[in-house]
């Protein structure tokens, strides 16, 4: 199924959950990231005048940090000009114009420190940085009509094509960190110039051509079309899989599609946390073997969750199967969103899936067991030495509307529910909803007739569909309910949101005998601050649950009967049981009230 995608420029998020996050992104987060990137020298680095003895020596992928910030500004600008932010972008573009080499090449680190090693060190991220700059330039060109940035980046891309594809004079054949592949496909989509698609294809086809098993971390252990499982560095991998899906769609390449199908299946059936986070180990920041999803030491980088959503988004354009949108939903309301604090100022790079402060103390004090254990941080920070996640968050939230629709000539797929207005092929489609806080969604079509495919989320057991106030039956296929809508029709979908207790496959050792509580798309968690401190001995009791609202965090909360069990002695059948009412909040809202225990997976007796 060849399927078009509606992108940020044609959809406005007008209210509700995501509008609040987009407003915070515009008012606070974008500026906070900017200030921290100024403090740390990232913007100044573009002046290309750093000298020995000065603070903040430019790092080899700082270009990409700033590029993602520039791209974020472009998306914000599409929805409302921001002259101050635009002036900053323009200055960086001028810096690039002044600093770049005659052949179009631009990379702060290599030009300043290793000019003799340009395109010689595969692990030094030149192509990764170039990819992010290209993505930023496309978005900025579209948003402002100012052509300079894009024309500079096209010259750079042309130089890359000459060196890597035409003359093959680079010391390596494919990037050590994927990203440029995605950017080149975007450049092709935006300009219609085939050479960029060919270059993207070249990078994907060349990868792994020498089958080096030791390069599994950078997905070079096999040619991509022979790969069947998710391996290695989770961000790199998911960017590669996204590019493979991009190419599978545009080139109708069934070999790549087959590989993408198998890899996606591998991820969602054995390598993904319940929160949609992926990449469970710090070791190589990588996917681990199937079912190795430890909670206490989870790495779960924000960029990796986000990248899984990008992969799923591309897959859903090829198959009308709701598991892709379900995966995106899992990511955006959980493992991605936990990456930013509720005040929009600070970030998680790693996203803890459990915090047990007592156990950390024991492990850290241990003479025997403190060598290779890495625990994720417990509190978000405003900036990191490696600060790839914060500007990825700003660009993702600013363009979240990308995930709502895709369409064919006769059908509009409603993948995500967000209060919004969109223009599709001369039609206007308006969603009114408080989702995910409320399961009622109204979808109004004006300007023509279409078949609507409404996603029935995987977590939803009971729903009704109506047309202009009367209930209608709608056949469901692969998770989408199909209903015909004429000009002016209002289709309503009512999803019953309930509290669910979810179990994990027993091969996920860390979760054996436990359940996770979910509420609509939210994975819920317990925090020590709400539940008397340490959570190590807490168990839920029975199946009662009351849904309430936490005024302080401004999120739903679930109250459940629970007990705290204390064993008298190291081993004993004498156990003191203290009943209490446990409170759970959405996982994304954890760690906003100081350092405290956190658990998603809990015993339920």
- Residue 65 or 266: the one with the smaller Cβ distance to ligand FUB is 65
Residue number with the shortest CB distance to Zn ion? 303
Beta bridge partners of 560: 582
Catalytic residue among 260, 388, 389, 460: 388
Subset of 264-303 contacting Zn ion (CB under 5 A): 301, 303
Instruction: With CA atoms as reference, report the closest residue to 418 among 403, 407, 396.
Output: 403
Cα 333 from Cα 325, distance rounded (Å) = 12
Q: Of ligand FUB, Zn ion, none, which one sits near residue 285, judging by CB under 5 to 8 A according to partner kind?
A: ligand FUB
Cα 293 from Cα 354, distance rounded (Å) = 11
Contact 387, 67 (CB under 8 A): no
Q: Could you give the string, one character per residue 216-255, with x where binding to ligand FUB holds by CB under 6 A and - elsewhere?
A: -------------------x--------------------
Cα 180 from Cα 594, distance rounded (Å) = 38
Q: Of Zn ion, ligand FUB, none, which one sits near residue 126, judging by CB under 5 to 8 A according to partner kind?
A: none
Bridging pattern class, strands 601-604 and 538-540: parallel
Q: Of ligand FUB, Zn ion, none, which one sits near residue 567, judging by CB under 5 to 8 A according to partner kind?
A: none
Helices 83-99, 126-144: crossing angle, 10 deg rounding? 130
Instruction: With CA atoms as reference, report the closest residue to 469 among 499, 444, 502.
Output: 444
- Residue 142 or 172: the one with the smaller Cβ distance to ligand FUB is 172
301 near ligand FUB, rule: CB under 6 A = yes
Cα 279 from Cα 287, distance rounded (Å) = 4
- CB of 128: closest distance to ligand FUB in angstroms? 6
- Residue 285 or 288: the one with the smaller Cβ distance to ligand FUB is 285
Q: Of Zn ion, ligand FUB, none, which one sits near residue 386, judging by CB under 5 to 8 A according to partner kind?
A: ligand FUB
336 near ligand FUB, rule: CB under 6 A = no
Residue number with the shortest CB distance to ligand FUB? 235
Catalytic residue among 86, 179, 285, 301: 285
- CB of 416: closest distance to ligand FUB in angstroms? 25
- CB of 572: closest distance to ligand FUB in angstroms? 46
Subset of 153-212 contacting ligand FUB (CB under 6 A): 177
- Residue 12 or 301: the one with the smaller Cβ distance to Zn ion is 301
Q: Of Zn ion, ligand FUB, none, which one sits near residue 357, judging by CB under 5 to 8 A according to partner kind?
A: none
- Residue 386 or 449: the one with the smaller Cβ distance to Zn ion is 386
- CB of 132: closest distance to ligand FUB in angstroms? 10
Tokens 């060349």 sit on residue: 206
Q: Of Zn ion, ligand FUB, none, which one sits near residue 61, judging by CB under 5 to 8 A according to partner kind?
A: ligand FUB
Which structure tokens are listed for 55?
Answer: 């603070």
- Residue 310 or 474: the one with the smaller Cβ distance to ligand FUB is 310
- The question of whether 389 is a catalytic residue gets the answer no
Which structure tokens are listed for 193?
Answer: 């110039």
- For 83, other C-beta atoms within 10 Å of its C-beta total 7
Cα 368 from Cα 149, distance rounded (Å) = 55
Residue 571, SS3 per DSSP? coil
Handedness of CA 50, 56, 61, 67 (dihedral sign): negative
Helices 126-144, 148-160: crossing angle, 10 deg rounding? 150
Contact 230, 178 (CB under 8 A): no
- Residue 114 or 550: the one with the smaller Cβ distance to ligand FUB is 114
Bridging pattern class, strands 514-519 and 411-414: unpaired
Q: Could you give the string, one character per residue 387-416, with x where binding to Zn ion holds by CB under 5 A and - elsewhere?
A: -xx---------------------------
388 near ligand FUB, rule: CB under 6 A = yes
* Distance (Å) of CA 142 to CA 153, 187, 349, 394: 14, 12, 30, 18
Contact 27, 77 (CB under 8 A): no
Which of 37, 61, 109, 396 touches ligand FUB (CB under 6 A)? 61
Q: Of ligand FUB, Zn ion, none, which one sits near residue 89, judging by CB under 5 to 8 A according to partner kind?
A: none
133 near ligand FUB, rule: CB under 6 A = no
* Distance (Å) of CA 170 to CA 159, 160, 165, 222, 419: 11, 9, 9, 21, 48
Tokens 């008298």 sit on residue: 568
Subset of 303-322 contacting ligand FUB (CB under 6 A): 303
- The question of whether 525 is a catalytic residue gets the answer no
Cα 283 from Cα 217, distance rounded (Å) = 10
386 near ligand FUB, rule: CB under 6 A = yes
85 near ligand FUB, rule: CB under 6 A = no
283 near ligand FUB, rule: CB under 6 A = no
285 near ligand FUB, rule: CB under 6 A = yes
- What are the backbone dihedrals phi and psi of residue 560, each rounded to the nearest 5 degrees, phi first? -135, 145
Say how many CA atoms lie within 13 Å of 290 toward its Cβ.
Answer: 13
Binding residues (CB under 6 A) for ligand FUB: these are 61, 177, 235, 285, 301, 303, 386, 388
Which residues are catalytically annotated?
285, 388
Binding residues (CB under 5 A) for Zn ion: these are 301, 303, 388-389
């Amino acid at each position: 199924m060849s399927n078009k995608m509606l992108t940020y420029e044609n959809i406005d998020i007008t209210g509700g959950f995501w509008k609040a996050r987009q407003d915070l992104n515009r008012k606070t987060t974008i500026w906070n990231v900017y200030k921290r990137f100024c403090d740390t020298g990232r913007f100044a680095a573009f002046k290309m005048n750093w000298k020995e003895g000065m603070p903040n020596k430019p790092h080899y992928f700082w270009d990409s940090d700033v590029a993602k910030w520039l791209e974020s500004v472009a998306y914000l600008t599409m929805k409302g000009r921001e002259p101050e932010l635009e002036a900053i972008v323009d200055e960086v573009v001028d810096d690039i114009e002044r600093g770049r080499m005659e052949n179009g090449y631009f990379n702060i680190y290599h030009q300043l420190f290793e000019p003799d090693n340009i395109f010689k060190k595969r692990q030094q991220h030149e192509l990764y940085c170039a990819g992010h700059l290209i993505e930023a330039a496309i978005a900025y060109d579209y948003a402002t009509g100012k052509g300079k940035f894009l024309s500079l980046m096209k010259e750079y891309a042309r130089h890359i094509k000459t060196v890597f594809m035409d003359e093959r004079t680079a010391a390596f054949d494919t990037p050590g960190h994927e990203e440029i592949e995605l950017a080149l496909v975007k450049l092709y989509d935006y300009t219609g110039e085939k050479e960029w698609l060919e270059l993207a294809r070249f990078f994907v086809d060349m990868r792994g051509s020498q089958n080096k098993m030791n390069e599994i971390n950078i997905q070079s252990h096999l040619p991509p079309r022979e790969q069947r499982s998710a391996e290695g560095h989770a961000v790199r991998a998911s960017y590669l899989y996204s590019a493979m899906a991009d190419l599978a769609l545009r080139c109708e390449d069934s070999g790549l599609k087959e590989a993408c199908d198998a890899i996606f299946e591998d991820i969602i059936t054995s390598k993904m946390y319940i929160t949609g986070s992926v990449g469970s180990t710090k070791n190589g920041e990588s996917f681990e073997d199937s079912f190795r999803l430890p909670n206490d030491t989870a790495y779960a980088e924000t960029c990796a969750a986000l990248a899984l959503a990008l992969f799923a988004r591309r897959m859903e354009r090829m198959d009308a199967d709701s598991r892709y949108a379900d995966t995106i939903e899992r990511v955006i309301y959980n493992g991605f969103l936990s990456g930013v604090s509720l005040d929009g100022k600070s970030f998680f790079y790693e996203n803890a899936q459990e915090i047990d402060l007592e156990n950390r103390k024991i492990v850290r004090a241990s003479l025997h067991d403190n060598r290779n254990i890495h625990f994720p941080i417990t509190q978000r920070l405003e900036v990191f030495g490696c600060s790839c996640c914060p500007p990825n968050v700003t660009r993702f939230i600013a363009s979240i509307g990308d995930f709502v629709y895709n369409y064919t000539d006769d059908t509009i797929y409603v993948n995500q529910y967000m209060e919004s207005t969109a223009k599709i092929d001369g039609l206007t489609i308006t969603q009114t909803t408080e989702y995910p806080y409320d399961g009622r969604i109204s979808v109004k079509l004006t300007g023509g007739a279409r078949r609507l495919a409404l996603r029935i989320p995987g977590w939803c057991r009971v729903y009704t569909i109506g047309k202009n106030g009367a209930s209608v039956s709608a056949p469901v296929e692969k998770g989408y309910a199909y209903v015909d809508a004429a000009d002016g029709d209002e289709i309503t979908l009512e999803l019953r949101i309930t509290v669910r207790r979810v179990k994990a496959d027993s091969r996920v050792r860390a979760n054996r005998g436990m359940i996770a509580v979910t509420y609509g798309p939210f994975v819920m968690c317990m925090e020590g601050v709400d539940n008397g401190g340490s959570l190590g001995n807490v168990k839920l009791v029975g199946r009662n649950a009351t849904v309430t609202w936490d005024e302080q965090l401004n999120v739903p909360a679930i109250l459940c009967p629970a007990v705290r069990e204390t064993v008298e002695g190291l081993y004993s059948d004498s156990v003191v049981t203290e009943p209490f009412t446990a409170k759970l909040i959405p996982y994304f809202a954890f760690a906003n009230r100081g350092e405290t225990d956190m658990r998603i997976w809990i015993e339920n007796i």
